[in-house]
Structure 1
Amino acid sequence: MKFFAGATVFATLLVNQANAWGSIGHQLTGYIADHLANKHTIQVSTALLNGWNMSRTTTWADDVKYNKSLPYGWSGPLHYIDIEDNPPHECGLNLTRDCPDGNCIVGAIANYTNRLDCSGKQHLPVNDRSDALKFLIHFIGDITQPLHACNRQIGGNTAFAIFDGANTTQYGKVQLHAIWDTYIIEKRLKNDFNDSFTAYGDFLVHQILKGAYAHHVPLWNSCLRKKSNHSKHDNHRALRCAIMWAKDSDKLDCSVVWPAYDVDPKADLGLDYYKNAIPVVDMQLAKAGARMAALLDKELKKCHKYHSYI
């Protein structure tokens, strides 16, 4: 996907579960991380990303997944976890049940954190480490979209809805998943930020640093501070965080995403549903950016001589 390329965004969102947030949402999470990460993290990540910042890179994992000329078609299942619960009546992650082989977003976050390989012990080629970072920053965004931690109706892809009077687009029926990916964010951007991506991003950064989210951030990142019997192994810390983040999103499937939809699936979700979803979407985007910065600050600090590392 390309940033603000509406037709491409909607076409892919309407046919596949594995695009969380759409390009605008993903770019916002990277924008937040670019503003929160420390100087060393920015230096190392920019070197690994060939001069790109995190905001610009966040949609790479979606781009390559759909490009048949590139060898990344296998990555689709890594963008989500099919939690086999029953929202809105029952929500709960069981990793043995929901991701038995690790081939899901939870396992992917652990794996690609490990493959950053700042220690150099794995002797991974720089291109592999670059790919690891690009996948990781995308998946940290994906896992905060509640319907990427949900198996009901294929993550909301077969739950059809009306949004601002429309129940179809030129690409097909409006899906609940697409509403959470893109429609809510685009309407919020237009109505409250005059279509200014930077204004929306700066608002979220301010909320994290000095606003309503400031006291929440330590809790969002608590998994990075907890000690483990496996603390020497980065993938255990990352796995613990990914599990926590998936559970956090799954709870929203029970408390926000599905209850109002189930009351009247034919209601226009661009009205009261949208108003109730705005604070949740804002906070989830903020969580993704804050977590991205915190995890990379933790992992990339071991890359002391980033030029020689790259």
Structure 2
Amino acid sequence: MKKLFIFCLIGTSIALISWGFKGHRAVAAIAQKHLTSNSAYVVSAYLKGESMADVSTWADENRNNTTAPWHFLNLPLGLTHEQFVKSVSESDNNVYSAILKTEANLKDKSLSGDQKNEALKYLIHLVGDAHQPMHVSRKEDKGGNTIQIRFDNKGTNLHSLWDSKLIDHEGLSETDIVRTYDAATAAQIKQWQSDSPMEWIWESYQISSELYAQVKSGQDIDEAYYQKSMPVIRKRINQAGIRLAGELNKLFNSVPVPTVISTAAATTTATLSVKLEDVKNAVGKTVSTQGKVYSSKDISSMVLVNLGAAYPNQLLTVALKGKAKDLGNQLDNKTITVEGEVIDYKGKPEIIVTDPAKIKF
């Protein structure tokens, strides 16, 4: 049976890159803020100490003829939801199937740390791709790449407009983008994380269908179009980050932290000694730091110990797990030295300790 959809490789003359540099880093940074503590530690281990934002564009930078189709999905316009689901379910070698493949690889206990590293870098990127509307669009115009338009007095195309041009026009720094876009309510987070990857790309398909109807080749994109489009872009990037965190929490929240040599550890055997107030700048590094314990809380699975100030103003949280959990009732109001890898947990630095020898007081 002839399929309704056709997949194509994008030639070297037309680059299909979702969200651009800022957008992909924003998706990854938002996701990082919504990881559970254990998931953040597993992610850091598999990424060998690199941050999610730093690897978020790796898949674009390392694409080849095999992986190029993983970044998009081509379908004709006008499909019902039922037709869409049927077509996508029958398809392969596209952003939807690639997401399922990378998630399966991350669950596969037989794969090496390097294979998990690559799968995770792909997943971080591809969830962003799935939420860029022009990555679920038509073959005949190469996802909007051949629809030439003008914006900010410069020539561009519909795909590039949604990749980066509208975001660049907004003028926000990467930090401000994350702070501004990450505005989901608890109810939205719950709903978004319950949606399947099929629904993510269905949403993109619906949006791209509207975009095709709104823009014609040769059109001059005005400020009104920008103002109308930015809420959609903000929501899609926020959804991508929230959903990426949801997928990673499902994959990693209950698994043991793997033993993977980090890039930093491979180049030096020395532990970095840092001041407590500077720990926030050492995410992904193994450090030794000292501070006073101001508060602690036993949450059954671990004891959370707050240094530098009481929660929620702590400079560092030390999560005591395993054998180290027994130290929890001995540390209140004491000055301790802790050694371990720093992770980012919801915008705060954290060190997970399972070996009691890593705590001195």
- 1:16 counterpart letter in structure 2: A
Q: Distance in 1 between matches of 2:161 and 2:66?
A: 26
2:162 to 180, 192, 195: 180
Q: Distance in 2 between matches of 1:181 and 1:14?
A: 17
Find the aligned partners of 1:159 and 1:306 in 2 and give their Cα distance.
47
Equivalent residue number for residue 278 of structure 1: 230
Cα pair 2:72 2:129 within 8 Å, conserved: yes
Find the aligned partners of 2:47 and 2:76 in 1 and give their Cα distance.
36
In structure 2, the partner of 1:149 is: 136
Match of 2:191 among 215, 219, 233: 219
Amino acid at match of 1:176: L
Offset at residue 100 of structure 1 (A): 3.7
Q: Please say if 1:259 is aligned against 2:213.
A: yes
Amino acid of the residue matched to residue 131 of structure 1? E
In structure 1, stretches of 5+ residues that fail to align are 1-11, 66-71, 168-173, 224-240
Give the counterpart letter for 1:165 in structure 2: N
Residue 266 of structure 1: how far off its partner (Å): 3.4
State the AA in 1 paired with 2:145. Answer: N
Amino acid of the structure 2 residue aligned with 1:46: S
Q: C-alpha offsets along residues 50-77 of structure 1, whole Å, 9 cap, x if unaligned?
A: 1011111110100111xxxxxx441000
Task: State the distance in 2 between where 1:128 and 1:101 align.
Answer: 24
> Could you state the TM-score of these two structures normalised by the residue count of structure 1?
0.75
Which structure's residues are more often helix, by fraction?
1
| CA pair 308-184 structure 1, distance change in 2 beyond 3 A | closer
Q: 1:102 aligns with which of 82, 92, 99?
A: 92
Alpha-carbon distance in structure 1 between the residues aligned to 2:96 and 2:158 = 23
Partner residue of 2:45 out of 41, 44, 47: 47
Q: 1:133 aligns with which of 94, 114, 120?
A: 120
* Identical pairs, percent: 25
Kindly report which structure 2 residues correspond to 1:201-240, keeping only aligned pairs within 5 A, or say none. Answer: 201-205=178-182, 207-208=183-184, 213-223=185-195
Gaps of 5+ in 2: 1-10, 263-361
d(CA) in 1 for partners of 2:50, 2:122:
14
CA contact under 8 A between 2:38 and 2:253: conserved in structure 1?
Answer: yes
Deviation string 1:189-227 (CA, Å, 9 cap, x unpaired) is x1xx3xx2111211222x12xxxx54322221223xxxx
TM-score (norm 2): 0.64
Partner of 2:243: 291
Deviations 1:72-124 (A, max 9, x none): 441000001112224xxx66563553574411111011110010026x2xx11
Task: Determine the C-alpha separation between the residues in 2 that align with 1:62 and 1:107.
Answer: 17
Pick the aligned partner of 1:78 from 67, 70, 82: 70
Q: Secondary structure at the match of 1:137?
A: helix
Label 1:41 to 1:14 Cα distance change in 2 as closer, same or farther (>3 A): farther
Q: Does structure 1 conserve the Cα–Cα contact (< 8 Å) formed by 2:41 and 2:257? A: no
Residue 135 of structure 2 aligns with an amino acid whose one-letter code is H
Work out whether residues 128 and 241 of structure 2, in 8 Å CA contact, stay in contact via their aligned partners in 1. Answer: yes
Q: 1:107 to 1:161 in 2, by over 3 A?
A: same
For the residues of structure 2 that align with 1:62 and 1:154, how far apart are their CA atoms?
17
Q: 1:161 aligns to what SS in structure 2?
A: strand
Q: Are the aligned partners of 2:181 and 2:234 in contact in 1 as well (CA < 8 Å)?
A: yes
The 2-side partners of 1:98 and 1:141 are apart by 18
RMSD of Structure 2 on Structure 1 (CA): 2.3
Instruction: Report the Cα offset of residue 48 of structure 1.
Output: 0.5
Q: Is the 8 A contact 1:13 1:178 kept in 2?
A: no
**Residue identity in the other structure for 2:36:** N
SS where residue 20 of structure 1 aligns?
coil
Distance 1:305 1:42, change over 3 A: closer
* Contact 1:112-1:136 within 8 A present in 2 as well: yes
> Partner of 1:164 in structure 2?
152
Distance 1:14 1:146, change over 3 A: farther
State the distance in 1 between where 2:235 and 2:13 align: 24
Bigger Cα Rg: 2
